[in-house]
Structure 1
Amino acid sequence: MSAQALAWTMLGGALLDAALGEPRRAHPLVGFGRMARALETALHADRRVRGVAAWLLAVLPLSAAAGALHWALWQWSPWLGGAYAAAVLYLAIGLRSLREHAMPVADALQAGELERARAAVGRIVSRDTQALDAERVAAAATESVLENGSDAVFAALFWFALLGPAGAVLYRLSNTLDAMWGYRTARFERFGWAAARIDDALNWLPARLTALTYAALGRGRRALRCWRAQA
């Protein structure tokens, strides 16, 4: 794919996300989640090697299939291949969804409705929000938006730019497995080790590029100071 075709394809995926938002029904990740749970049930053991095997079986075949189908469609018709790639990217990013989750928090805070703001932020963070004051509600929402700006948008674009649809699928599935298995609990301490570490590796460079982008588009010096102090 040429640089021009890549740019148009990425723009197409972003426009689809802006127009349609996250699919409300039958999102492919729902089916992937079911498959991942089945794999976990079948392969789980308190061993890292089992987690590595489960990750490989869950992610690599689907990523390879996405790349192979893109290649085949592109050979047949670049237009069809580009449309397919844009559709895959659309399913891998969630910028509109991120805004739809964050704006109710901002609107409630601006209206001085703390209880509504707490309820809204509780839908995007895992912590207990009932005791948070307005400043902490705003901080929790901001932290979630900043992190998910990398996870749900920038990193998927980054891996799509490098590897096409296969890269976007690889990243999104890896990120999903980290959310499912990447916990330091008795069940996942070893089994989920690969999912957590691979997701860290895939996010290492995109996260830093995201932070630099935030700094470039915002209050640069303050943003860089916060990045150094708070990561």
Structure 2
Amino acid sequence: MALFAIVIALLLEQIRPLGAQSLAARQLRVWTRQTAANTDAGTALHGWLAWSLAVVLPAVLAAAIHLLALWAGGWLLALAWNVVVLYLTLGFRQFSHHFTTIRDALEAGDDERARQLLARWQGGDTSRLGRGDVLRQVIETSVLAAHRHVFGVLACYGAL
């Protein structure tokens, strides 16, 4: 069932991608910021409390809903819940279009456009970067984004 949920969620995300500014992403940012602001007072214990409320509580809630869906509606309802959770949390398309447009600019020999696109993506000054540095930063940022938005989500999903 997990493999089917992953495949369906990835297909849905390719058809209708959720961006970083989607309602779900905005609500998650609000939740984590409010949790940190209201619980993290600077000590290690408060940091663990903030992390537990921001991460563990939603994970336990999602697992409980999965078990309830499995018990009340069967495997098909549980599969649908898994697809919803994965669709909302997987973010392959949140970064892949940045990578693709920069790669296309580099392939076309338009280094200036590639630097501008990289600056827009990362929010920094890239005017002094050479072609190799632009390529290095694009690869580093893409790998980091893939780990955050794809591999990390799949690892956590598999662990649960």
* TM-score (normalised: structure 1): 0.63
1:65 Cα deviation after fit: 0.9
Counterparts in 2 of 1:34 and 1:18: CA distance versus 1, 3 Å: same
1:60 maps to 56
1:127 Cα deviation after fit: 4.4
Amino acid at match of 1:10: I
Find the residue that maps to 1:124 and give its secondary structure: helix
1:146 maps to 143
> 2:26 aligned with 1:30, yes or no?
yes
Q: Structure 2: which 5+ runs fail to align?
A: none
CA contact (8 A) 1:124 1:144 kept: no
Match of 1:51 among 47, 51, 64: 47
The percentage of counterpart residues that share the same residue type is: 26
* In structure 1, C-alpha distance between the alignment counterparts of 2:101 and 2:22, rounded to whole Å: 25
> 2:112 aligned with 1:115, yes or no?
yes
Amino acid at match of 2:114: A
1:94 maps to 91
Matches within 5 A, 1:129-208: 129-163=126-160
> 2:4 aligned with 1:17, yes or no?
no
> 2:68 aligned with 1:72, yes or no?
yes
CA contact (8 A) 2:95 2:142 kept: yes
Amino acid at match of 1:67: A
1:214 maps to none
Find the residue that maps to 1:66 and give its secondary structure: helix
CA contact (8 A) 1:9 1:86 kept: yes
Amino acid at match of 1:70: H
Q: Structure 1: which 5+ runs fail to align?
A: 164-231
Amino acid at match of 2:25: L
Counterparts in 2 of 1:99 and 1:26: CA distance versus 1, 3 Å: closer
